[in-house]
């Protein structure tokens, strides 16, 4: 009889556990990932690391960074980029307020090289 009660308690616990639902993932307001291939989005924010937020599934994250740096003439630029593995893309703003679409790649820890459609290069650091 004792085994019956233990078995019933285990079944009850398992039944309750299966009915729990995980909360739906939330996307930050105003954020659109730069790649349309992200099928299931999750959102994670961690101020310990330099990324602003990331999307993707475990092991396949896309990171988003605020960046600043200089163009080939030494003029300052700021912006935001999304990076997955070594490469990514984003938007920079120059001193005149012009928005520049760029492709980026990691060149060192916390340092990115960006290239626009005209072949201009930018050295960027993660803010």
Given this model, what pLDDT does residue 40 score? 43
**Residue 54 burial (CB count, 10 A):** 20
User: Does the predicted model carry a pTM greater than 0.75?
Assistant: no
Count of other CB atoms within 10 angstroms of residue 81: 23
pLDDT along the chain (127 residues), means of 10: 67 59 52 47 56 59 92 96 93 96 95 96 95
**CB within 8 A of 57, min separation 6: which ones?**
40, 42
> What was the pLDDT predicted at 81?
96
The Cα–Cα gap between 113 and 42 comes to 27
Longest dimension (CA), the chain: 84
- Which residues are CB-contacts of 119 (< 8 A; sequence separation ≥ 6)? none
């Amino acid at each position: 009889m004792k085994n019956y009660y233990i078995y019933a308690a285990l079944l009850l616990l398992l039944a309750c556990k299966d009915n729990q639902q995980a909360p739906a993932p939330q996307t930050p307001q105003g954020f659109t990932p730069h790649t349309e291939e992200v099928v299931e989005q999750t959102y994670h924010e961690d101020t310990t690391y330099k990324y602003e937020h990331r999307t993707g599934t475990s092991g396949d994250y896309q990171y988003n960074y605020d960046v600043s740096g200089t163009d080939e003439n030494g003029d300052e630029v700021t912006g935001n980029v999304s990076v997955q593995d070594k490469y990514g893309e984003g938007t920079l703003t120059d001193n005149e307020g012009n928005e520049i679409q760029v492709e980026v790649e990691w060149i060192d820890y916390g340092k990115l090289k960006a290239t626009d459609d005209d072949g201009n290069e930018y050295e960027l650091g993660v803010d």
